[in-house]
Every structure is written in structure tokens, then in C-alpha cells.
Amino acid sequence: MAVRALRGAIQVDENSRDAILEGTTELIKAVMHRNTITPDDLISVIFTATPDLDAEFPAYAARLLGFTDVPLLCTTEIGVPGAMPRVLRLLAHIETETPRSGLHHVYLHGAAALRRDLPQ
């Protein structure tokens, strides 16, 4: 069993509690589904939010999905001038037999423009 990392991002419409929770939930579910993983496969998840998103902790959405024994961390992205606004990102560390080339990183809605090199 190898330790691998999965990336994902989603752009939300506004800085509201509901938008952050709904966007984070959508992102988590998409990453889990596209990679056929369960919470038992997770080692830890780091969430980042652009500086304009501060109405809720993205990790709270993971707790609501039942990630009660997975270490979670939230932090703020670097505020680079001209960067895409209202973006939530995750970096999930997992245990898997899947080779790195078989993992599917997930970029949703406007955040898909961040990684045009990846199939959506």
C-alpha cells in the first residue's frame, strides 16, 4: 500500500457559510467518487481558501460528511494579486494500491481553468 496525494479545487459563487459548505461538499464527493476511495483510505486532508473566503471552515463540511477520525486542517492561500477569487482547494493524503498515474485530480466550476492540462 502506497501513500499518495490527491488535489482538487472548486470556485464558489460567494463568501457565505452555505456556499463554502456546499462547494467543499461537492469537491470532496467528486474526489472520492472519481478515485473510488472511502474515508478509511484517507490519512489527512488539508483545505485552503483564498483570502476572500472566511465565512466558514471548509473542514467543517468534511466533518458533516462523517470524516470524524481523519485529521483535517484549514489554511489561507497566498493572496497573489490577480489570482482567481473564491477558490477552495484540498490536498488529500491517501493509502492506495493505485499508481500515481491512475489518480484523478478534480477541478470544478471556474477552478477547472487552473488546470487545463487535466481531463475534467
22 assigned to active site: no
Q: Are 4 and 105 spatial neighbours (Cβ–Cβ below 8 Å)?
A: no
89 assigned to active site: yes
Query: Is residue 89 part of an annotated ligand binding site?
Result: yes
Query: Is residue 107 part of an annotated ligand binding site?
Result: yes
60 assigned to active site: no
What residues pair up with 87 in beta bridges, in sequence order?
11
Catalytic residue among 14, 17, 63, 95: 63
86 assigned to active site: no
Query: Is residue 116 part of an annotated ligand binding site?
Result: no
Q: Are 105 and 95 spatial neighbours (Cβ–Cβ below 8 Å)?
A: no
7 assigned to active site: yes
Q: What residue numbers does the annotated binding site cover?
A: 7, 89, 107
**Looking at the annotation, which residues are catalytic?**
7, 63, 74, 77, 89, 107, 115
Q: What residue numbers does the annotated binding site for prephenate cover?
A: 7, 89, 107
